[in-house]
């Protein structure tokens, strides 16, 4: 706090006139105190209201243009009002201000032209292949979109004593007790509600894995929050203790013991405030205001994201367009890519591996010219580790459907229902790049979950639950995908002779799917009659030989069938 006050007091001196006439003549001198007060107001706006970092680059950026403008104003006013004031002297003073201002503008205009290589280097993307993609299992793939989580959280607000006092904060996905949840803090609804409230009443969690799991309202008093005012504003509370750090983002998380915590991602600027880098996190207890600062490598394990999504998006942009420098960006355009626009608020989306470690995902398409029709396929995709900042580029996915195409396909499939596709995410499911697309109605209620094969848009499955969607997709994948898919490459191929206990025929879109329950087998086996015509004749008690990919799924597609119809 003391440092901020000193900077504001000293910075206000820039608003005082440098021209001696202002100090010598009474008609000018009476305005000097008001100008100093204006300088104080400017400093308060920058550092107390704006919460800007108190670093030398910010001070130069904020006060040098102000100094130049006042030089122009001071000399111009004196020249117009005092006839004895020499024109050459006025021109030198105003000219100095104009020169400083022009140099400042030229520097900030041209500087980005020389940063292409530096930006590409800090993105530090590594080209990898599908073998380097972190493994994932069905249970850990989130299927609940953010908008549906917000819808369910909004309903839970009705349980509060004074729901009109509060709003929902930013909803973020995170790992809690080995499961994924959307977590939404409750915030004040304006200044007067803050005045009348003792504290924010808590936060809401919604399962990201199971859309049918009931949301939970966790009631706990929180005093230091982003929507608080004065000393209870979270960012201001942090700024008073850490005046020199660059606060990059603020997110709400739940620690390993279930306690609410705000995470302030901090860092610094390089290239004169053009490139932001992450240094670590400041963890704030919203109940007491206690703070702890951690370097990025030392952050507690429960902290899900050290690198915020806008940093991931920024570095994806740099990695795509600055691969061979600035000249290639505008003229050669060799090998340039850009993240695919999904038409949503999410420029990158969070995906997880089997350990529920978070990465920021986005797919890339070839760089488009202005007005050019967007590409329907990707040239690769990236995974940006939310804790380490490592950027990996999977180029071997080139030619697969991009996220926008997967969304369009999902919406066309349910055109009659008028469903809207949520933000897609890409996973390696059953050895295939697969888009997971949630579908909602116009009220943001989740209605369907759709899995779309990245190589073939005709191969997809959907269902109202995750299990139904995965079962349907697995069935389609086993019966429709051609020989390019070699099951043994991704899982064990099992061959068994079994006895059929139950048979069910499912007529679906002019095709028949046969479902079998075997003796001493705790799973359902399925096969498509178009691929195995004799399957429709199977009856209880028949002995058959089957081969299948052992994925440990409840519903298991059969790859090969040996069945003697005459038995």
Question: In this structure, are 51 and 9 located in the same domain?
Answer: yes
| Percentage with pLDDT > 70 across the chain | 93
Indicate the residue among 357, 380, 397 that finishes a domain: 397
Please tell me whether residue 505 adopts helix, strand or coil conformation: strand
Residue 230, domain extent:
145-298
pLDDT over 70 at 380, yes or no: yes
In a domain, 548, yes or no: yes
Structure tokens that stand for 387 in this block: 């804790």
Q: Which of 301, 299, 296, 340 is nearest to 317 (CA)?
A: 340
pLDDT over 90 at 513, yes or no: no
pLDDT over 90 at 530, yes or no: no
Q: At 225, is the pLDDT very low, low, confident or very high (cuts 50, 70, 90)?
A: very high
Mean predicted confidence (pLDDT) in 184-211: 93
Question: In this structure, are 414 and 294 located in the same domain?
Answer: no
In a domain, 150, yes or no: yes
d(CA 162, CA 551): 50
Question: In this structure, are 393 and 407 located in the same domain?
Answer: no
Question: In this structure, are 407 and 379 located in the same domain?
Answer: no
d(CA 282, CA 293): 4
In a domain, 140, yes or no: no
In a domain, 122, yes or no: no
- Using the Cα atoms of residue 485, residue 491, residue 496 and residue 499 in order, give the sign of their dihedral: negative
Q: pLDDT at position 344, please?
A: 59
In a domain, 134, yes or no: no
Q: pLDDT at position 511, please?
A: 66
Question: In this structure, are 177 and 285 located in the same domain?
Answer: yes
d(CA 314, CA 322): 12
pLDDT over 70 at 481, yes or no: no
Structure tokens that stand for 454 in this block: 């990245």
Question: In this structure, are 384 and 254 located in the same domain?
Answer: no
Q: Which of 161, 152, 228, 142 is nearest to 193 (CA)?
A: 228
| Percentage with pLDDT > 90 across the chain | 53
d(CA 26, CA 306): 57
Cβ neighbours of residue 11 closer than 8 Å, sequence gap 6 or more: 39, 42, 43, 59, 62, 63
As for how many domains the chain has, the answer is: 5
Question: In this structure, are 476 and 354 located in the same domain?
Answer: no
pLDDT, averaged across the chain: 88
Hey, which of 21-25, 118-122, 261-265 has the most confident mean pLDDT? 261-265
Structure tokens that stand for 247 in this block: 């606060």
Question: In this structure, are 333 and 443 located in the same domain?
Answer: no
Question: In this structure, are 381 and 408 located in the same domain?
Answer: no
d(CA 54, CA 51): 9
Q: At 430, is the pLDDT very low, low, confident or very high (cuts 50, 70, 90)?
A: confident
In a domain, 417, yes or no: yes
Question: In this structure, are 389 and 407 located in the same domain?
Answer: no
Question: In this structure, are 78 and 193 located in the same domain?
Answer: no
In a domain, 124, yes or no: no
Name which of 199-213, 224-238, 367-381 the model is least confident about: 367-381
In a domain, 129, yes or no: no
Q: pLDDT at position 519, please?
A: 87
pLDDT over 50 at 138, yes or no: yes
Q: pLDDT at position 361, please?
A: 93
d(CA 224, CA 241): 14
């Amino acid at each position: 706090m003391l440092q901020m006050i000193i900077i504001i007091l000293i910075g206000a001196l820039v608003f005082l006139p440098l021209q001696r006439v202002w100090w010598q003549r009474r008609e000018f001198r009476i305005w000097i105190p008001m100008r100093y007060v204006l300088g104080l107001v400017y400093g308060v706006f920058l550092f107390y209201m704006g919460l800007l970092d108190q670093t030398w680059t910010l001070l130069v950026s904020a006060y040098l243009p102000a100094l130049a403008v006042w030089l122009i104003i001071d000399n111009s006013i004196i020249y117009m009002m005092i006839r004895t004031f020499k024109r050459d002297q006025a021109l030198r003073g105003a000219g100095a201000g104009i020169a400083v201002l022009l140099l400042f503008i030229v520097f900030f205009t041209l500087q980005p032209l020389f940063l292409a290589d530096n930006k590409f280097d800090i993105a530090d993307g590594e080209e990898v292949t599908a073998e380097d993609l972190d493994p994932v299992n069905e249970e850990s793939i989130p299927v609940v979109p953010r908008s549906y989580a917000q819808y369910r959280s909004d309903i839970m607000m009705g349980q509060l004593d004074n729901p009109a006092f509060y709003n929902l904060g930013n909803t973020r996905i995170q790992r809690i007790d080995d499961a994924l949840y959307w977590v939404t803090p409750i915030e004040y609804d304006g200044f007067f509600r803050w005045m009348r409230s003792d504290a924010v009443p808590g936060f809401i969690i919604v399962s990201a894995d199971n859309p049918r799991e009931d949301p939970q309202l966790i009631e706990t008093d929180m005093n230091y929050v982003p929507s608080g005012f004065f000393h209870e504003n979270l960012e201001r509370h942090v700024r008073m203790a850490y005046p020199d750090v660059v606060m990059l983002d603020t997110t709400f998380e739940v620690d390993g013991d279930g306690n609410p915590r705000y995470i302030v991602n901090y860092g610094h600027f390089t290239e004169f405030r053009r490139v932001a880098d992450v240094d670590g996190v400041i963890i704030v207890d919203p109940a007491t205001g206690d703070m702890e600062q951690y370097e990025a490598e030392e952050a507690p394990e429960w902290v899900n994201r050290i690198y915020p999504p806008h940093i991931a998006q920024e570095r994806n942009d740099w990695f795509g367009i600055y691969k061979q420098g600035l000249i290639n960006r505008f003229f050669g355009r060799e090998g340039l890519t850009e993240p695919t626009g999904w038409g949503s608020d999410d420029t990158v989306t969070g995906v997880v591996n089997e350990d529920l470690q978070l990465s920021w995902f986005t797919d890339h398409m070839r760089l488009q010219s202005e007005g050019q029709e967007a590409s329907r396929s990707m040239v690769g995709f990236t995974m940006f580790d939310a804790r380490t900042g490592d950027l990996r580029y999977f180029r071997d996915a080139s030619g697969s459907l991009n996220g926008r195409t997967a969304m369009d396909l999902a919406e066309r499939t349910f055109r009659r229902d008028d469903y809207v596709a949520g933000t897609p995410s890409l996973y390696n499911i059953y050895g295939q790049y697969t888009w997971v697309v949630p579908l909602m109605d116009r009220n943001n209620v989740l209605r369907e979950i759709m899995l779309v094969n990245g190589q073939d848009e005709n191969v997809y499955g959907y269902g109202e639950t995750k299990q139904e969607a995965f079962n349907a997709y697995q069935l389609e994948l086993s019966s429709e995908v051609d020989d390019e898919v070699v099951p043994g490459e991704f899982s064990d191929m099992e061959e068994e002779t079994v006895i059929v206990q139950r048979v069910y025929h499912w007529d679906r879109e002019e095709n028949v799917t046969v479902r079998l329950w075997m003796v001493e087998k705790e799973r359902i086996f399925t096969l498509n009659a178009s691929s195995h015509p004799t399957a429709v004749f199977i009856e209880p008690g028949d002995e058959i030989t089957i081969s299948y990919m052992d994925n440990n799924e409840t519903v298991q597609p059969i790859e090969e069938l040996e069945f003697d119809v005459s038995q």
